[in-house]
Amino acid sequence: MTLAAITAAASHLDIARPAESELTSSEEAAQYIADGCLVDGPAQRVGLEMEGHCFDPVDPHRRPGWDEITGVIDALSPLPGGSAVTVEPGGAIELSGRPEDGVLTAIEAMHNDQSVLRQTLAEQGLGLVFLGTDPLRPPRRINPGARYRAMEEFFAAGQSPEAGAAMMTSTASVQVNVDAGPQTDWAARVRLAHALGPTMIAITANSPMLGGEFTGWQSSRQRVWGQMDSARCGPILGASGDDPGADWARYALKAPVMMVHNPEAVPLTHYVSFADWADGSARLCDRRPTLADLDYHLTTLFPPVRPRQWLEIRYLDSTPDQYWPAIAFTLTTLLDDPAAADAAAAAVEPVATAWDNAARLGLADRRLHAAALSCVAIAADRAPAGLTDAMQQLIANVERARCPGDGFCDQVIDNGIAATVSQLAQGEL
């Protein structure tokens, strides 16, 4: 679909119309997507989402079951920072923090909520391990939700079934959500969020093992995502990156439909783009799509930077307490502080598309190492006193070209994988 078609069609589309409204064309769907993908306003609010793999420290090879994990969560008192608690397909537990005024408030709220959750899990004999991939157990879904059953079937029928299973059940991340900012800055902001990706992946790589094996990659999580269909998991930027709304619309309409609610989730095991469904060249469940179908389709797309009115930064490995506050501060500062953003854009320009090198080599890549040194120095100059120690530790790691996963590897070599995971789950490392 051409940019002209997107911008010319349905220019006065009422995006507040009922969700059951039927779409009549891909052009109408494109305008709906482009009109609603970002919200104009100041770059102020920050939300954090943290995932940790749930383990039984006594038997780290065992995957705790659905009832076991949800029983603990159901017994939780409301968390002090107001985070929502959910369970991922493989049993990882996610804390989704509220949008806060600034990254420091978001960090404090997430830290407090994590402490309560981990204490409650410990009382029930469970613990969390903050790594980008499950280092020990084979992939297995425990979440019985219809969405995840359908997702599992969709990936099993595709060209990357092993990567799909690992993505669903064996990966964990730190997600940073930031306001879209002023509309005049959207293109530059979205380009920078993408350009920072390889450097931040190299800085935060924390998944050298998957399913009991060293993979040879610093970020096995990013490797898994790189093996997925790029139409669903690749970057959204077009050739110029000058119009994020049009880029997101093109991406979303080209992507294959994963499932249709009719009313249960019905997985698709053959390729049908949402554009073909909207245009009527394909009929799914014997009907045309509605706005609700389009909204749901957007939730099944997993690019490294996803516009959801705000920007979701989705490319960071899950990391433990000694790393994630400094990482969240660094990324947010490089995006939200205008002078820092300009300096960071220049620093990462040579490695702005080096996604695979970042995942495989991390900071051993000399160009990524140089970009990382510049980025952490830019952020450290703006760090408040409360983050001085964390930023200094991050800088020291980067100077030595060490990723968070290097320390984990050292422990595995010294103590073995099961013992290391057990100690991590008990908070002893």
Stated pTM of the model: 0.94
| Right CATH for 26-426 from 3.30.1390.20, 3.30.70.940, 3.30.590.20, 3.40.50.2300 | 3.30.590.20
HSE of 16 in the Cβ direction (CA atoms, 13 Å)? 0
Angle between helices 417-425 and 404-415 (to 10 degrees): 120
Structure tokens at 101: 């005024």
Residue type, 202: A
Q: What is the pLDDT of residue 428?
A: 79
Q: What is the pLDDT of residue 128?
A: 98
Q: What is the pLDDT of residue 410?
A: 97
Structure tokens at 411: 């422990």
Residue spans of the chain under pLDDT 70: 1-16, 239
Residue-wise pLDDT tens digits, 2-57:
333 333 333 334 446 788 899 999 999 999 999 999 999 999 999 999 999 999 99
Q: What is the pLDDT of residue 238?
A: 78
Please enumerate in sequence order all residues whose Cβ is within 8 A of that of 166, keeping only pairs 6 or more positions apart, or say none. Answer: 133, 139, 210, 211, 224
Write down the domain spans for the chain.
Answer: 26-426
The candidate with the shortest Cα–Cα distance to 226, out of 216, 218, 234, 238, is 234
